[in-house]
Chains A and B, each alone.
Chain A
């Protein structure tokens, strides 16, 4: 196909697409612009929910350790829960900040790179917030017990053993499976999707694609 034929084919294709898209025009005319789907809206509300969760964890942590500074178990548990709450809130805040910085009228490569970084940060955020529960459940249960009135301190040493016996192998297994699956590209979808790894992989692929496009 020479250039003239190519342009003629494009014009014909364009006319046909325009015919099929006539119906879409009524959406513009009826002033329904605000009702469109926004792909980042679920992410936005997800981060708001994470902030609420993070603040609740912070409140729980602070409520646990401030009145019990003399009890090391409650002090440490409260501080861990407090730190988790602050970290979760901060990561959600950063994600919201990155969403807010998106200006779709910027050049294509700039915005696509920004979106890929946002996706990667969000996936890492999800992994950190989720995986830490392998160990965090113990201080959480102790802190919750302290706040609602049940003192779990006497059972803490036994619970700590159980927590470490489950949590450390759990974390090691997660990391190992993640690594093995990464090597075997193609069969990793289920597990990595659950961990958010597919999002990280996809965002990395997009970043690589952008660099290649810029370079070649």
Chain B
């Protein structure tokens, strides 16, 4: 009985360490899919919960970040497709921009670029947003393909189109 409790504690500790090391992924995904701080916190919590549930099946021979991205993106995409959630916390876009504004910004041009990028990210469809996030995070094509479940060639084509869209729209 004591051994089982020790093992559970060990698993929990291992998970907490991994989560702490890669927690940026959770917040970046939550920030990419939710503009409202309350929604973001709720989504981050749900991602963490799903990670914890899936952790016993995690294969340590595989990269933790890839596994984490898959779960985080799957949860986030499902979350934004839940209409009631979106309606509940819907607030005007300008108010949402206050949330990411830096009151001490010294470079107006850089500040403007952050706002434009924020708008651009949230204007993308859920799947395109996943691709954009992975691109901004400098993930390799191979990793993107493993996370999304499409071929590397397909990833390359999509990234090239995404870059073109960025050039045109930003």
B36 to chain A, nearest CB (A): 11
Contact of A6 among B12, B67, B136, B158 (CB under 8 A): B136
Query: Is A36 a contact partner of B27 (Cβ separation < 8 A)?
Result: no
CA distance A58 to B139 in the complex (A): 54
Residues of A within 8 A of B (CB): 1, 5-10, 12-14, 16-18, 20-21, 23-25, 27-29, 31-39, 103-112, 115, 202, 206, 209-210, 213-214, 216
Q: Which residues of B contact A1 (CB under 8 A)?
A: 113, 116-117, 166, 170
A10–B117 CB distance below 8 A:
yes
Q: Which of chain B's residues 137-166 have a Cβ closer than 8 Å to chain A?
A: 138, 146-150, 154, 158, 166
When the two chains form their complex, are residues B27 and A13 in contact, meaning their CB atoms are under 8 A apart? no
- The smallest beta-carbon distance between B24 and chain A, in angstroms, is 7
Distance of A215 from chain B, by nearest CB (Å):
9
B71 and A107 contacting across the interface, CB-CB below 8 Å? no
Query: Whose C-beta in chain A lies nearest to the C-beta of B128?
Result: A213
- Give chain B nearest CB distance to A100 CB in angstroms: 13
Q: Identify which of B19, B54, B125, B147 contacts A108 (C-beta below 8 A).
A: B147
Contact check, A106 vs B70: say whether CB atoms are below 8 A apart.
yes
Residues of B within 8 A of A12 (CB): 102, 110, 114
Question: Digit string of B32-70 for contact with A (CB within 8 Å is 1, else 0)?
Answer: 000001001110111011101010011000000001001
CB < 8 Å: which of A8, A13, A108, A112 contacts B100?
Answer: A13
A34 to chain B: closest residue by CB? B49
CA A36 to CA B57, docked complex, whole Å: 20
Name the one of B74, B102, B147, B158 contacting A104, with C-beta atoms under 8 angstroms: B74
Work out how many contacts link A and B, with CB atoms closer than 8 A.
Answer: 148
Complex alpha-carbon distance, A104 and B69, angstroms? 10
Alpha-carbon gap, A35 to B48, bound state (A): 11
8 contacts between A and B (CB under 8 A): A12-B110, A17-B30, A18-B27, A27-B41, A35-B49, A105-B67, A108-B127, A210-B127
Do A8 and B74 have beta carbons less than 8 Å apart?
Answer: no
Q: Is the CB of A107 within 8 A of B41?
A: no
Chain A residues closer than 8 Å to B154, beta-carbon distance? 214
Are B117 and A24 in contact, with the CB atoms below 8 A? no
Which of chain A's residues have a CB closer than 8 A to the CB of B87?
A: none
Docked-complex contact B27 and A105, CB < 8 angstroms: no
B48: which of A28, A103, A106 is its contact (CB, 8 Å)?
Answer: A28
A213-B155 Cα distance, complex, nearest whole Å: 10
Tell me whether B99 and A209 are in contact (CB under 8 A): no
Cβ of A108 and Cβ of B77 under 8 Å apart? yes
Task: Let me know if B19 and A110 touch, CB within 8 A.
Answer: no
Chain A residues with Cβ below 8 Å from B27 are: 17-18, 21, 24
Closest residue of chain A to B105, judged by CB? A12
- 13 more A-B residue pairs beyond the given contacts A23-B41, A27-B44, A107-B147, with a C-beta to C-beta distance below 8 A: A1-B166, A17-B28, A18-B27, A21-B31, A24-B30, A28-B16, A38-B46, A105-B54, A106-B70, A107-B70, A108-B73, A112-B74, A209-B127
Are B110 and A9 within 8 A (Cβ)? yes
Please indicate the chain A residues that have their CB under 8 angstroms from the CB of B54 in the complex. Answer: 103-105
Is A24's CB under 8 angstroms from B78's CB? no
A5-B113, A17-B28 are known contacts. Are A110 and B149 too (CB-CB below 8 A)? yes
Whole-angstrom distance between the Cβ of B56 and the nearest chain A Cβ: 11
Q: Which B residues are in CB contact (< 8 Å) with A105?
A: 54, 57-58, 67, 70-71
Please, how many angstroms separate the alpha-carbon atoms of A39 and B82 in the complex? Answer: 8
